[in-house]
Structure 1
Amino acid sequence: MDKQKIEFYPGPAGGWGALRSVKNTLLHHDIALKGAKTLLSANQPGGFDCPGCAWPDRNHASSFEFCENGAKAVAAEATARRAGPEFFARHSVTEMLAQSDFWLEDQGRLTHPLRYDAASDRYLPLEWDQAFALIAQQLQALPDPNQAIFYTSGRASNEAAFLYQLFVREYGTNNFPDCSNMCHEASGNGMRAQIGVGKGTVTLDDFEQADAIFIFGQNPGTNHPRMLGELRAAHKRGARIVSFNPLHERGLERFQDPQSKLEMATLGATPISTHYFQVRAGGDLAAVKGMMKHVLEQEAARGGVLDHAFIAEHTTGFEALAADLQAEDWALLAQESGLSEAQMRAAGEVYIGAGSSIVCWGMGITQHMHSVATVQMLVNLLLLRGNLGRPGAGACPVRGHSNVQGDRSMGIWEKPPAALLDRLEQVFGFAPPRAPGADTVEAIRLMLSGQGRVFFALGGNFAAAAPDSDATWRALRQCDLTVHVATKLNRSHLVHGREALILPCLGRTEIDSQAGGPQSVSVEDSMSMVHLSGGINPPASELLLSEPAIVARLAAATLPASRTRWLWLIEDYARIRDLIAQVFDDFHDFNARVATRGGFRLRNTASERVWNTASGKAGFMAHAVPRDTPVHRATARLPGQQVFSLMTMRSHDQYNTTVYGMDDRYRGVFGQRRVVFIHADDIRALGCKDGDWVDLLSAWDDGQERRIERFRLVAYDIPRGNIGAYYPETNPLVPLAATAIGAGTPTSKAVPVTLRAHTGIVG
């Protein structure tokens, strides 16, 4: 581990710092030569799709070797380290539970199916047939299929996800909590009601034609590094890039492109944002209302600002929105956004001056109480000037996991549309359940109540990713059986039910050999492009099974009377894709289309100006500026105390809950993770100094104490009253009840907290 220090990082995003980090990662995993060869095969025709983020590649033919976090994801999967039976014989579950998330990840690839042995408090190896028989027995014994919960990670392929939802629905439940419930559920719900699709409407080609790109609540330098290449190119051709973020993030400031010989040789860099507005956490809705208020005022003053023809032909609700904006008070907008009237007008003027605009957003938008309303406000902004359904314009919710969007396309959804269930019944001859299932938070409540008795996870790290860690851990431990399909050890394997299994699977980088020969799987990126991914490395263990094989073998064991030929399907994944084409019209001729270079794009009706909404048009949606958020309520309830709005964040050395290292290079944090980013004036107001240690207490109103201890104060450029810290360390502070209206997403970007000195009360 590097020495713990806080040290300003002067360099740009990318560049030599990224290359050094990739080199160190490859050496750490003992795969320098093999790893370099593997990286060169990522996102290439005939190669594998990056197991990291869902940002697309042009024609699926450009290497992501310059994406630092993608390289870390590949190196972690291709590591020479192994966590086999000998490892688990040395370490009890109790011992491992005391270790850090980084230590768990760093032990290497799982090699054998494992079953928890309570007598020794260890995981012991077992045969695959024994594992499937045990799970099937437990599922068949449940009096109600709704007592089983089936979680899905966004890294599962289309083929695995399709088989999974088919198996679970034939088993009899729609309990499909997934990672979408914790990230972009608000995007889907808000956009479907407003424009008829829950996905982004743009392609990479639109980024080449946009005059302005607006980025809300997103940190691409860490979370989607490949996006920086598009932003760099846009800046160089003169596009305006306007960023809204509470923190100054290096990737939104400047980028050194490792593919540019000139920048690398001269240590130069390209600016990214032409305008940078530091909103308060959750202040984006007010900021966008300010922009739109300026747009309407300028329409009244000079005309020619709104796209009247588009509004008349394609939208409803404009008059109500216009009246709401006209009545809005600039002082309130400034107070709640954290921006001045002049700043909001400046952002609005950039929008007016752009012929075509793209609006991008991430979880800084979706993990708030009023996230659905904020998403709809962003789409309102686009509608005012007809910035949907034409080149260089549109909505771009930037997804995280590499196939989280594809999993939803395959039917991983606790609230399935009736049309999907009708088609499943028609094609497969069984009556799927019609009642909605449980999302992530509802699943935790089911387990806590004793009504959720079996928990099966197709990937992911549920115990670390879910909110309210104490409640989540108690929920998992009350289960009769917990099962995790995984490539590496993580926290969820140690927070287990009375019976527990770990099922090791192939990674995206590995050769998947079935009876019909080596197989490829398909994935869908953030821009609805579907392409094939085929591994190139030998499996980490001869005992590994692919995710489709695990699902199919479990289905065959659990549903002996099923008409579906589960084991026949996994002999050749093209057979699975033929069934997908029968169920989803947008996947017609799936095998032929996905075999072409770069794959194919799914139809997006909103990008065609076809609106699959109740009115048949896109809808303007008016929303009041939130004035009764949990932070507002906590501030009123605790007079005399400083209530902070905590944003949970990733460090640069992690991807979701996977911690690759202990550095957050761009923010200047090295060798540690228990830090709190806070304004220097707030530190002084607490009577503390930079570097002091504090405890964080959730200021929720349910009377339950949620506390995490010993975090180091780090003075940072962040709005007063806001603080930031890493998850999963901060997840214990997010109550189960803290969810987005209309989406159920945990509100992890606006957690009301107070700070106390680690040895007593501060302030």
Structure 2
Amino acid sequence: MSDQKPSTERKVSHRGPDDFSDLQIREPMRIAAGTQGVYQALKHSFKEMGVIRSFPALFKMNQKDGFDCPSCAWPDPESPSPIAEYCENGAKALADEATTSHIGADFFRKYSVEELSRFSDYQINAFGRLTEPMVLREDSVHYEPIGWEEAYQMIADHLHRLDHPDEAIFYTSGRSSNEAAFLYGMFARALGTNNLPDCSNMCHESSGVALSETLGIGKGSVKLEDLYEAEVILIAGQNPGTNHPRMLSALEKCKQNGGKIVSINPLLESGLVNFRNPQTAKGILGGGTQLADVHLPVRINQDIPLVKAILKKLAALDKENKGVFDHDFIQQYTEGYETLMTNLEQYDLSELIGMSGVGEAELDEVVSFLARAEKIIVCWAMGLTQHKNSVATIKEYVNLLLLKGAIGKPNSGTCPVRGHSNVQGDRSVGIMHYVNKGLNERIEKHLGFTPPDHPGVDVVGAMEAMHQGRAKVFMCLGGNFLMAASDTDYTAKAIKNCNLTVQVSTKLNRSHLITGKTALILPTLGRSEKDIRDGVEREVTTENSMGRVRASKGVLKPASDSLKSEIEIVAGIANAYFKGEHSVDWKAMGEDYNLVREKIDQVAKGFEKTSESAKGVGYYLPNNVRERDFSKLPNGRAKLTVNPLPDHHLEEDEFMLMTIRSHDQFNTTVYGLDDRYRGIYKERRVLFMHPADMEKMGLKKEAVVDLTSSYDGVKRTAYKFKVVPYDIPAGNLAAYFPETNPLVPHNHFAEKSRTPISKSIKIRISKSTAE
């Protein structure tokens, strides 16, 4: 008889179900927002929050005396609308956070983690707000309640048992406040590690690297008001109608002032076709505003040949008329001009245009806009940042701006449009895995301890460390790491290798179900909820996508009296670990946020008198590019760069797949199963495909297929997707994430930034064996 103990491994699903709902396909909408957007925003709000709770929250979101939207990082105007300074997706994010559906001990007694893992991500999120701290003990399949102090001590005990501080990893989501992120980063360093992976590693890290190397700062250079009077705005690899809807009103102002807007994207997205502003009579009763003057349907990851073709045409015009390029700016502020011009001459124009997939007539129209414009802005999002050559791609767009002198002056510049509402603030206050000498010196001077002088791990490094057993404790300040990261199967195995996983969260997600041997859920206040201590309402700060820091104070009654703020939670863990014996008074920091902001002002570069200055519209952090100060760079000049063409080596039966969001989701949070702008209803497991490719493959509409990627001899499969004919470049495909994340290899990422290649995955299609 065997004396082996039965396996105690939890039988949890890290992918969820793959069965279909009742898919409905309609014509894509070519109108964004309008009365339909208002209806959907209110419908979702009333359903989740109720009418009485909805209005005070909606009226205070993005207001000077209210709270920052928990959705995207798009900036608020100087004078926000007193009625509705939010968009449909902002309203959905608020409703999702402020829902009246709550889950606690009774819920987790009813459902095991094994049962919960068999629900879809949409269903898991819909269960409601977490209301009390919970623990999943080793060998158990049910979470059970745990007291806050016991939870803090459990984390401290696990950290004390580590052989080295680098066996702990501290991940940060962009939802956290500046104060929470600052304490979190300082605690990790006080512990002795720079293992501070951040959600920016998976999205805009490529922007930060490219901009730092060419302009000297990893942030964009424009302010919101710059968009209003720009002469040309290029929107590349971005779908603002779904991901940043409030951006549409800024683009509308640009159009009203005579500006030209160019959409550069494999898909023609509704938000850039027609925008009906629900705050204007024209938007409600009229035909709205046609935003994009030209749409360039560039093939996936072929922006570099597209921009090179534009530059070659502009260079030819400049030889005829020296006014096309800004030679005074080029001579005074840049280096690399002659090298770039020599390199451009080596390329054949027709070959570049052919690679890009765009028509030359449309390209010439864009060139004519750019040739006579002086005020140009380039906006982009993850359609540029998640490729192997993302850093080079962004540098190519920067070349265009530098040649036109469209940097460091009003209505011109770079505009990377960040995702989550404080992802940029996290980095500004010190969430970074690399060593910053100046930051370390200020930490030692003002916080009284010596931080580690060796780099930590980013997201890719964190996955590898956990997978190889080199990390034992994994803590997440917000987010849904499992579903956000690439290579879902690999990531799930990595997480399960840990001894302890900790999630600071507002809602349940799959990362609470795929855990280490022991797991903690620490429920926290949402952005919209009041944070009161000793009768005083406390506020936090955030930084928007354009570098402005402002205060945020919730207005709603919290979902539970047991909730704590992220700041209190981090401070509680640090206090338990150091037992009150440390140069930083963690306990006091958790109680008085002004103490935290005083230290931010001293330690984080550019912050000044934040407790006072962040009130109202807030204040901008310093930005050298706005001053045309490139002194941080070698030779004190902005860099014109030479960037190679992409080369994917696609086999004859391979396609290029990009992952996308639906209109009913934000990042990994799925609010519903509809994507009305693209005409998809009641289903997410769909594959957008050109009709000619369908015919070539012998696939009919709604055929069920499996998707397979093969990198380094490893075969990865995402099962059961329904094919939908769509206007997308031939040879290109699109499908929603996180359903397609299992196809993205963890070890293939952007050069320098290590961002996953989620927007250019080589895959094969086969008829599903599970059909």
Task: Give the shorter-chain TM-score range.
Answer: over 0.9
State yes or no: 1:526 paired with 2:545.
yes
- Which residue of 26, 50, 55 maps to 2:69? 50
Task: Report Cα offsets for 1:575-632 as digits up to 9, x if no partner.
Answer: 111111111341122222112x2010111001100012122110101112122x3xx2
State yes or no: 1:718 paired with 2:748.
no
- Contact 2:45/2:51, CA 8 A, preserved across alignment: yes
Which sits farther off after the overlay, 684-693 or 584-593?
584-593
What is the rounded CA distance, in whole Å, between the counterparts of 2:471 and 2:423 in structure 1? 24
- Contact 2:374/2:405, CA 8 A, preserved across alignment: no
TM-score (norm 2): 0.95
What is the rounded CA distance, in whole Å, between the counterparts of 1:546 and 1:740 in structure 2? 35
What is the rounded CA distance, in whole Å, between the counterparts of 1:187 and 1:669 in structure 2? 31
What is the rounded CA distance, in whole Å, between the counterparts of 2:347 and 2:535 in structure 1? 64
Cα 1:721/1:27, change in 2 over 3 Å = same
- Contact 1:43/1:60, CA 8 A, preserved across alignment: no
What is the rounded CA distance, in whole Å, between the counterparts of 2:754 and 2:451 in structure 1? 24
State yes or no: 1:27 paired with 2:38.
no
What is the rounded CA distance, in whole Å, between the counterparts of 2:36 and 2:526 in structure 1? 27
What is the rounded CA distance, in whole Å, between the counterparts of 1:278 and 1:9 in structure 2? 16
What is the rounded CA distance, in whole Å, between the counterparts of 1:653 and 1:260 in structure 2? 24
The aligned runs of 1:541-580 (5 Å cut-off) are: 541-560=560-579, 561-580=581-600
Structure 2: give runs of 5+ residues left out of the alignment. Answer: 1-19
- Which amino acid in structure 2 is aligned with residue 739 of structure 1? F
State yes or no: 1:167 paired with 2:151.
no
Give the C-alpha shift of residue 30 in structure 1: 4.6
Number of aligned residue pairs: 749
What is the rounded CA distance, in whole Å, between the counterparts of 1:499 and 1:460 in structure 2? 19
- Which amino acid in structure 2 is aligned with residue 132 of structure 1? Y
- Contact 1:171/1:559, CA 8 A, preserved across alignment: no
- Which amino acid in structure 2 is aligned with residue 166 of structure 1? M
Equivalence for 1:730: 740
- Contact 2:49/2:98, CA 8 A, preserved across alignment: no
Equivalence for 1:213: 233
- Which amino acid in structure 1 is aligned with residue 741 of structure 2? N
Equivalence for 2:768: 758
State yes or no: 1:97 paired with 2:117.
yes
What is the rounded CA distance, in whole Å, between the counterparts of 1:120 and 1:478 in structure 2? 16
Equivalence for 1:182: 202
Equivalence for 2:450: 431
Give the C-alpha shift of residue 386 in structure 1: 0.6
State yes or no: 1:695 paired with 2:706.
yes
Which sits farther off after the overlay, 251-260 or 509-518?
509-518
- Which amino acid in structure 2 is aligned with residue 72 of structure 1? K
The aligned runs of 1:327-342 (5 Å cut-off) are: 327-342=346-361
Equivalence for 1:605: 624
State yes or no: 1:125 paired with 2:145.
yes
Identity %, equivalent residues:
45
- Which residue of 143, 156, 160 maps to 1:140? 160
- Contact 2:422/2:543, CA 8 A, preserved across alignment: yes
What is the rounded CA distance, in whole Å, between the counterparts of 1:458 and 1:683 in structure 2? 43
What is the rounded CA distance, in whole Å, between the counterparts of 2:395 and 2:49 in structure 1? 47
- Which amino acid in structure 1 is aligned with residue 745 of structure 2? P
Give the C-alpha shift of residue 3 in structure 1: 4.9
What is the rounded CA distance, in whole Å, between the counterparts of 2:352 and 2:405 in structure 1? 25
- Contact 1:244/1:278, CA 8 A, preserved across alignment: yes
- Contact 1:298/1:305, CA 8 A, preserved across alignment: yes
Which sits farther off after the overlay, 331-340 or 43-52?
331-340
Give the C-alpha shift of residue 574 in structure 1: 1.2
Give the C-alpha shift of residue 45 in structure 1: 2.0
Task: Report Cα offsets for 1:360-384 as digits up to 9, x if no partner.
Answer: 0100000001000011111110000
Give the C-alpha shift of residue 124 in structure 1: 0.4
Equivalence for 2:14: none
Equivalence for 1:465: 484
SS at match of 1:681: helix
SS at match of 2:465: helix
What is the rounded CA distance, in whole Å, between the counterparts of 1:731 and 1:584 in structure 2? 34
- Contact 2:137/2:517, CA 8 A, preserved across alignment: no
State yes or no: 1:254 paired with 2:283.
no
Give the C-alpha shift of residue 753 in structure 1: 0.3
Give the C-alpha shift of residue 758 in structure 1: 1.1
- Which residue of 237, 244, 253 maps to 1:233? 253
Equivalence for 2:97: 77
SS at match of 1:447: helix
Give the C-alpha shift of residue 642 in structure 1: 1.9
Give the C-alpha shift of residue 36 in structure 1: 2.2
State yes or no: 1:392 paired with 2:392.
no
SS at match of 1:485: strand
SS at match of 2:144: strand
Which sits farther off after the overlay, 32-41 or 147-156?
32-41
Equivalence for 2:224: 204
Which sits farther off after the overlay, 55-64 or 112-121?
55-64
What is the rounded CA distance, in whole Å, between the counterparts of 2:37 and 2:359 in structure 1? 36
What is the rounded CA distance, in whole Å, between the counterparts of 2:559 and 2:646 in structure 1? 51
Equivalence for 2:16: none
Equivalence for 1:362: 381
* Aligned residues: CA RMSD: 1.5
Equivalence for 2:318: 299
What is the rounded CA distance, in whole Å, between the counterparts of 2:446 and 2:265 in structure 1? 47
- Which residue of 612, 615, 618 maps to 2:635? 615
Equivalence for 2:5: none
Cα 1:483/1:38, change in 2 over 3 Å = same
What is the rounded CA distance, in whole Å, between the counterparts of 1:413 and 1:255 in structure 2? 38
- Which residue of 205, 208, 215 maps to 1:195? 215
What is the rounded CA distance, in whole Å, between the counterparts of 2:84 and 2:746 in structure 1? 37
Cα 1:240/1:689, change in 2 over 3 Å = same
Equivalence for 1:638: none
- Which residue of 290, 303, 306 maps to 1:284? 303
What is the rounded CA distance, in whole Å, between the counterparts of 1:102 and 1:625 in structure 2? 39
Equivalence for 2:753: 743
The aligned runs of 1:489-508 (5 Å cut-off) are: 489-508=508-527
Give the C-alpha shift of residue 252 in structure 1: 1.1
Give the C-alpha shift of residue 2 in structure 1: 8.7
Structure 1: give runs of 5+ residues left out of the alignment. Answer: 636-640
Give the C-alpha shift of residue 64 in structure 1: 4.7
- Which amino acid in structure 2 is aligned with residue 263 of structure 1? G
- Which residue of 626, 647, 652 maps to 2:663? 652
